[in-house]
Structure 1
Amino acid sequence: MLDSNYIKVFSGSFIIVQLVVDRLESAGINGIVKDETESGRLAGFASTTAGFQELYVNKDELDYAIPIIESVKEELEA
């Protein structure tokens, strides 16, 4: 496996991941969203995890991203 500067910080439904991405972008952090269901769909395969996405951020931005993600989680639990 290739060494990467990105680390998975969150996973969830499309809507929640997009909320987190929006908050991160507001703070100047660019995340990468991985959606294997879309990749599978394009390849002609069905998936049981429709709408499930993973969010990655650069390891250099991890300390800034975690508090933002935790804040979103707290908002959703309230």
Structure 2
Amino acid sequence: MSDSLYTKIFSGSFIIVQLALDRLKGAGINAIIKDESESGRLAGFGASIQGYQELYVSNEELLEAKTIIASVQDELES
């Protein structure tokens, strides 16, 4: 069982994550981006997937954030 206060809600390329982040911010949801390739670069290590990021939101905002992410995904698929 996880005690984390945040849940990963989306992952993808830098550009798509930035679009999702912008939509979440517009709704007043503060999200966190995890970018292991950038962390590895700063530490002097290489990364297997460049530009791949993960988006996390507070568990308290999870339901609203899921709706926004679904909207972004629908928009990208159409």
| TM-based fold match above 0.5 | yes
Matched, 1:6 2:3: no
Instruction: Give the TM-score taking structure 1 as reference length.
Output: 0.95
How many residues end up aligned between the 2 structures?
77
Gaps (5+ residues) in structure 1? none
Query: Partner letter of residue 32 of structure 1?
Result: I
What is residue 71 of structure 2 aligned with on the other side? 71
The offset of 1:3, in angstroms, is 2.2
Could you list the runs of 4 or more consecutive aligned residues of structure 1 that deviate by over 4 angstroms after TM superposition? none
Q: CA RMSD in A?
A: 1.0
The percent of aligned pairs where both chains have the same amino acid is 64
Corresponding residue SS for 1:49 = coil
Instruction: Give the TM-score taking structure 2 as reference length.
Output: 0.95
What is residue 24 of structure 1 aligned with on the other side? 24
CA distance in 2, matches of 1:77, 1:60: 28
Gaps (5+ residues) in structure 2? none
What is residue 41 of structure 1 aligned with on the other side? 41
**1:14-49 CA distance string (max 9 Å, x none):** 000000000000000000000000000011111120
